[in-house]
């Protein structure tokens, strides 16, 4: 049996961490839904930069858009292209959404990374995107910065589905989970609300392993490639404490669903590690793993499905205690990772806008020079 399908039996949803127009139109995503059980799609500025900025797939769409809207800003052009992809994906996944009674089948669209420290701006853009896409299986991605936690609560209170992203620590997770609870309390129809807490995994090992390598210590060497999984397992334990306990029952009675943990950044960065380690080691109920295409293919080929997420919590605690005893501050490292994550999304976003500006100006010049283009 397809290992990706087996994840469903463990209560874990598989979402594709990738979007590009060709897979929406040529049947590729539909096949992944039917054959692999893919039940969602996530996007971010880096993904769109590669899709739009580094291919010619969108050139015709850009040209057609500019014929109708020749004076549109580059930001408006970007939004039009992205929203069309998101709508195509949402429509493709609508059957999954309806078949799972609104639990799955979501497509995520991120607000501008430049709004990561601006709650008011984030809420305004999220409302705009929610209305423009106009699909119930849309999730708006909002970063888990201190400044945007109030935005998360407000959007949830308004009934807007939110994918809270760029979480790296237990502290990040707890702030997000509490915002979800407050938002649900204020939401008039929590039975229609969906949210995931996107917890980043592999980047933690990339960051911490560098510090461990510098120590040249046996204990430190034993921790390499272990901290990201340990960090994630203890975060999931906190999820269970919050959402499987009595205090959440009144919200559940109102129809509210728990805010699932979503494992993000699950591709393996270190070639010395198993290429599907961040999928295999985090398999458990009521979770989502958003997987990029190469890792999806690798797991389909040789992934092993065992309910690992509920195992090894004592060992995970010991590993984090040992890390601290070695003088490595995980909390400081995860704060750095969140800042770096914001930069890694802002840079490709700006690069994409620059590419679109160049394409727009070139097409405008061609249109002006050619009498055949109206």
Q: What residues does each domain of the chain span?
A: 3-363
Say whether 261 sits in a helix, a strand or coil. Answer: strand
Which band of pLDDT confidence, cut at 50, 70 and 90, is reported for residue 149? Answer: very high
Is residue 204 pLDDT above 90, yes or no?
yes
CA–CA separation, 345 vs 38, rounded Å? 24
Fold of 3-363: TIM Barrel (3.20.20)
Residue 42: how many CB atoms within 10 A of its CB? 27
Per-residue model confidence as pLDDT tens digits over 212-253: 999 989 999 999 999 999 999 999 999 999 999 999 999 999
**160 φ, ψ to 5°?**
-95, 125
Residue 50: exposure state from Cβ atoms within 10 A (0-12, 13-18, ≥19):
middle
Residue 260: how many CB atoms within 10 A of its CB? 21
Say whether 14 sits in a helix, a strand or coil. Answer: strand
Which band of pLDDT confidence, cut at 50, 70 and 90, is reported for residue 135? Answer: very high
How much is the pLDDT for 106? 98
Nearest to 78 by CA among 52, 108, 109, 98: 52
How much is the pLDDT for 313? 97
195 strand-pairing partners:
162
Which band of pLDDT confidence, cut at 50, 70 and 90, is reported for residue 374? Answer: very low
Instruction: List Cβ neighbours of 95 (8 Å cut-off, separation of 6 or more).
Output: 105
Which band of pLDDT confidence, cut at 50, 70 and 90, is reported for residue 331? Answer: very high
167 strand-pairing partners:
199
Look-up: residue for tokens 């539909």? 30
How much is the pLDDT for 362? 81
Per-residue model confidence as pLDDT tens digits over 61-81: 998 898 888 888 999 999 999
Residue 229, Ramachandran bin (φ over 0: left; ψ between -120 and 50: alpha; else beta): alpha
- Kindly report the average pLDDT of the chain as a whole number: 95
Distances (CA, A) of 187 to 59, 190, 193: 42, 6, 8
How much is the pLDDT for 371? 57
CA–CA separation, 101 vs 89, rounded Å? 18
**Residues classed as catalytic:** 141
How much is the pLDDT for 110? 96
DSSP, res 73: -
Is residue 290 pLDDT above 80, yes or no?
yes
């Amino acid at each position: 049996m397809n290992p990706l399908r087996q994840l469903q039996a463990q209560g874990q949803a598989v979402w594709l961490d990738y979007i590009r127009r060709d897979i929406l139109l040529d049947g590729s995503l539909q096949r992944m839904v039917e054959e692999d059980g893919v039940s969602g799609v996530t996007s971010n500025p880096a993904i769109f930069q590669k899709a739009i900025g580094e291919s010619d797939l969108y050139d015709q769409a850009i040209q057609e858009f500019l014929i109708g809207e020749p004076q549109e800003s580059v930001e408006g052009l970007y939004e039009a292209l992205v929203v069309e992809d998101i709508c195509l994906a949402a429509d493709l996944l609508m059957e999954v959404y309806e078949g799972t009674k609104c639990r799955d089948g979501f497509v995520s669209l991120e607000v501008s990374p430049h709004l990561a420290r601006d709650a008011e701006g984030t809420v305004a853009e999220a409302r705009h995107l929610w209305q423009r896409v106009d699909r119930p299986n849309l999730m708006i991605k909002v970063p888990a910065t201190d400044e945007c936690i109030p935005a998360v609560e407000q959007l949830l209170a308004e009934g807007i589905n939110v994918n809270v992203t760029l979480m790296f620590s237990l502290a990040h997770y707890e702030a997000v989970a509490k915002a979800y609870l407050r938002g649900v309390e204020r939401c008039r129809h929590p039975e229609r609300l969906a949210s995931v807490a996107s917890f980043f995994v592999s980047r933690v090992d990339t960051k911490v392993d560098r510090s461990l390598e510098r120590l040249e210590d046996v204990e430190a060497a034993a921790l390499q490639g272990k901290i990201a999984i340990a960090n994630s397992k203890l975060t999931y334990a906190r999820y269970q404490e919050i959402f499987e306990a009595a205090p959440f029952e009144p919200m559940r009675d109102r129809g509210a669903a728990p805010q699932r943990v979503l494992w993000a950044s699950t591709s393996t960065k270190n070639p010395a590690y198993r290429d599907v380690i961040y999928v295999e080691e985090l398999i458990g109920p009521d979770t989502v793993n958003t997987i990029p295409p190469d890792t999806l293919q690798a797991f389909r080929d040789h992934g092993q499905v065992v309910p690992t997420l509920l195992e090894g919590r004592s060992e995970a605690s010991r590993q984090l205690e040992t890390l601290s005893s070695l003088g490595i501050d995980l909390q400081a490292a995860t704060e750095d990772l969140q800042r770096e994550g914001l930069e890694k999304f802002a840079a490709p976003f700006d690069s994409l806008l620059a590419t679109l500006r160049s394409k727009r100006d070139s097409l405008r010049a061609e249109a002006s020079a050619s009498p055949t283009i109206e």
